[in-house]
Structure 1
Amino acid sequence: MPKQKTIPELKAEITANERQLAQLQHKQQQLENRAVYYEKGDRRKRAHRLITRGAAIESIASLTKVLTETEFYAFAEKALALPEVKGLLMEAVNEHNRAEYEGRF
C-alpha cells in the first residue's frame, strides 16, 4: 500500500502543477499568437498585391479612373473574356511556370 503524502508534500505538488499549467497556457498563447501573425501576413500580402496590381492597371489605362467600381468590373470581365487577352494571359502564366520550374534545378 503506497504511503500517504504529507500536507507539505501535497502543497509542493500543487505548486509544481500550477507552475506547469501556467507554462503550458503561456505556450498555447504563443502558438495562437503565431497563427494570427501568419494569417495577418497572408492577408497583408494579398492586400498589397491587389493594391499594386490595381495601381498598375490604373497607370497603364488611365481612363479607368473615371469608371465606377461596377463599371470597372464589367469592363475587366469583357476585356479578359477576349480570346486575344486570354491567349496573352495564358502565355504569361506558362512563361511564369516555366521560369519557376527551371529555377528549381
Structure 2
Amino acid sequence: MPKQKTIPELDTEIAAKEHQLAQLQHKQQQLENRRSYYEKGDRRKRAHRLITRGAAIESVEPLAKVLSETEFYAFAEKAFALPEVKSLLMSAANAHNAAGQKGTG
C-alpha cells in the first residue's frame, strides 16, 4: 500500500500542478495569438491584392471610376464572360504557372 502524503507534501504538489497549469495556459494563449496573427496576415494580403488590382483597373480604364459597385460587378461579369477575355486570362494564368514551375524545378 502506498504511503500517504503529508499536508505539506500535498501543498507542494498542488503548487507544482498549478504552476504547470499556468505554463500550459500561457502556451495555449501564445498559440492562439500566433494563429490570429497568421489569419490577420492572410486577410491583409487579400485586402492589399484587391485594392491594388482595383487601382490597376481604374488606372487602365478611368471610366470604371464612374460606375457604382453594382454597375461595376455587372460590367466585370460581362467582360470576363467574353471568349477573348477568357482566352487572355487563361494565357496569363498558364504563363504564370509555367514561370512558377521553372522556378521550383
C-alpha distance in structure 1 between counterparts of 2:37 and 2:92, whole Å: 32
C-alpha distance in structure 2 between counterparts of 1:79 and 1:3, whole Å: 82
C-alpha distance in structure 2 between counterparts of 1:7 and 1:79, whole Å: 79
Structure 2 residue matching 1:5: 3-state secondary structure: coil
Matched residue count: 105
TM-score (normalizing by structure 2): 0.98
1:64 aligns with 2:61: no
Report the equivalent of 1:98. 98
Q: Which runs of 4+ in 1 moved over 6 A?
A: none
Percent same amino acid at aligned positions? 78
Q: Residue type matched to 2:97 in 1?
A: N
C-alpha distance in structure 2 between counterparts of 1:52 and 1:72, whole Å: 16
TM-score (normalizing by structure 1): 0.98
Any stretches of 5+ residues in structure 2 without a counterpart?
none
